[in-house]
A = this chain, B = another copy of it.
Amino acid sequence: MEEKLNVVPFVSVESMKKLVHRIGVNPFLNELAAEIEKDFLRWEQFDKVARISAHSEEGVIELMPTTDGEVYGFKYVSGHPKNTRSGCQTVTAFGLLSDMRTGYPLMLSEMTILTALRTAAMSALTAKYLAPKGADTMAVIGNGAQSEFQALAFKEIVGVTKVRLFDIQCSASMKCARNLRGTGIEATICNSAEEAVLGSQIITTVTADKQYATILTDNMIGPGVHINAVGGDSPGKTELHKNILLRSSIFVEFPPQTRIEGEIQQLDADHPVTDLYSVMAGKRAGRTSKQEITLFDSVGFAVEDFSSLRYVRSKLAETGFYEELDLLADPDEPRDLFGMLMGA
Contacts and interface: CB of A to CB of B under 8 A. Distances in A.
A270 interface: no
Interface stretch (A126-134, A144-152, A245-253, A282-290): A144-152
Interface in A86-103: 87-92, 94, 96, 98, 100-103
Contact of A78 (B17, B59, B104, B330): B104
A27 interface: no
A80 B102 contact: yes
B101 A144 contact: no
A74 B76 contact: yes
B83 A102 contact: yes
20 contacts: A10-B325, A17-B340, A25-B342, A54-B72, A56-B100, A58-B100, A78-B103, A78-B104, A80-B101, A83-B104, A92-B104, A110-B326, A110-B327, A112-B337, A144-B335, A146-B337, A147-B338, A179-B338, A179-B339, A325-B325
A329 B110 contact: yes
Nearest to A101: B58
Interface in A190-225: none
Contacts of A90: 334
A65 interface: yes
A38 interface: no
A70 to B, nearest CB: 9
Interface string A121-162: 000000000000000000000011111110000000000000
Contacts of A144: 335
Contacts of A49: 52
A149 B103 contact: no
A13 B329 contact: yes
A20 interface: yes
Nearest to A70: B56
A88 to B, nearest CB: 6
A63 B102 CA distance: 16
A145 B339 CA distance: 9
Given A58-B100, A67-B54, A87-B334, A113 B13 contact: no
Contact of A337 (B12, B69, B113): B113
A84 interface: yes
A108 to B, nearest CB: 8
Chain A facing B: main interface SS:
mixed
A318 interface: no
Contacts of A88: 5, 102, 104, 334
A34 B329 CA distance: 25
A61 interface: yes
Given A61-B72, A74-B76, A110-B326, 12 more contacts: A6-B13, A10-B325, A54-B100, A59-B102, A83-B104, A84-B334, A90-B334, A113-B341, A144-B335, A172-B335, A179-B339, A325-B325
6 residue pairs, one from A and one from B, having the closest CB atoms: A78-B103, A148-B338, A12-B326, A145-B337, A112-B329, A84-B334
A175 interface: yes
A27 to B, nearest CB: 14
A331 B88 CA distance: 8
